[in-house]
Amino acid sequence: MNIKKILANTFSPPVCIFCGKALSFTSDYYVCNDCALTLPYNDGKRCNICCAPLDMVSGDLCCIHCKTTKRWFAQNVSRYVYKDKVANAIKQMKFGKGQLWIADALGKFLAQTVKENYHNVLFDVVLSVPLSKKSLRERDFNQSELIANSVSAALGVQIRRDILIKPVEISKQSGLNFEKRKQNIKNAFLVKNDDFIIDKTILLVDDIYTTGATLNECSRVLRNAGASCVFCATVASTPLYR
């Protein structure tokens, strides 16, 4: 991202990232009172492993995918359900203007969720889901890394960008079902500098939790490289994906 773009992004006027309403210059929360009260928080019944929203009448503690698939991460938390104003803000971050400050705000909010849900976990490092060099060139930034930067700063836990890499591009995950996503993402990631990762407790950050295939595959390579535990944190979770 060039310096002009960074400055334009960083010094955007303080507006609510969810509805665009102007906020006072002293506000550092990036959310207006109306949105703060009405956003689709993921605080209903949810899978106790991957945090996917579950049917309120379901008697299950975890979703069908966590029952039938080995999870290499200990748990995922998602602050919101991926819909309405939250989906709009994430799309705006990825494809519109103002990527840096939206990602920064979403990261601050996500850090609160991490503190609330993982209050007894001591993290050694924050990692984000990497993009391939090709995607990074096309998009100019990695939204997961921008969010992870903000989470890392808010938690006071170091971030490392030289651990998890995606050597080549894979076909797009969107449009694939649960099983096909799992196959498509297999072996897409590598761990570099694995000396560092041994026995570490990792917080792995991404923007959206869909089937968990990507986070699970990242967690698998990290655990195989010697990480002791991987916890995931995502801004939003889609309703249960089939």
Structure tokens at 174: 């969107």
Candidates 15, 19, 121, 176; binder of Zn ion (CB under 5 A) is 19
Binding of residue 208 to Zn ion (CB under 5 A): no
Window 119 to 158, contacts with Zn ion (CB under 5 A): none
Compose the 179-198 pattern: x for residues touching Zn ion by CB under 5 A, - for all others.
Answer: --------------------
The set of residues, in sequence order, having a beta carbon less than 8 Å from that of 78 and lying 6+ positions away, is 42, 51, 113, 209, 233, 234, 235, 236, 237
Pairing of strands 75-81, 229-237: parallel
Q: What's the token pair of residue 61? A: 């503690």
DSSP-H helix ranges across the chain: 3-10, 33-38, 64-68, 84-95, 99-117, 133-139, 143-155, 178-185, 194-197, 213-224
Pick 30 or 141: Cβ nearer Zn ion: 30
Stretch of 42-50, 106-114, 121-129, 132-140 lying at the interface with Zn ion (CB under 5 A):
42-50
Counting residues that bind Zn ion (by CB under 5 A) gives 13
Find the binder of Zn ion among 35, 159, 197, 225 (CB under 5 A).
Answer: 35
Closer residue to Zn ion (CB): 17 or 148: 17
Q: Does 240 bind Zn ion (CB under 5 A)?
A: no
* Least spacing, CB of residue 161 vs Zn ion, in Å: 28
Beta carbon nearer to Zn ion, 47 or 203: 47
Provide the b/e sequence for 197-210 (b: ≥16 CB within 10 Å): beebbbbbbbbbbb
**Binding to Zn ion in span 46-105, by CB under 5 A:** 47, 49-50, 52, 62-63, 66
Q: Are 86 and 17 in contact (CB under 8 A)?
A: no
209 near Zn ion (CB under 5 A)? no
The 3-class SS string of 93-118 reads HHHCCCHHHHHHHHHHHHHHHHHHHC
Distance of closest approach, residue 86 Cβ to Zn ion, in angstroms: 11
Q: Which is nearer to Zn ion, 62 or 153 (CB)?
A: 62
User: Which tokens hold the place of 101?
Assistant: 């400050």
CB of 47 to Zn ion, least distance (A): 3
Identify any residues that bridge with 127 across adjacent strands, giving them in sequence order. 204
Interaction between residue 221 and Zn ion (CB under 5 A): no
| Residue ranges binding Zn ion (CB under 5 A) | 16, 18-19, 21, 32, 35, 47, 49-50, 52, 62-63, 66
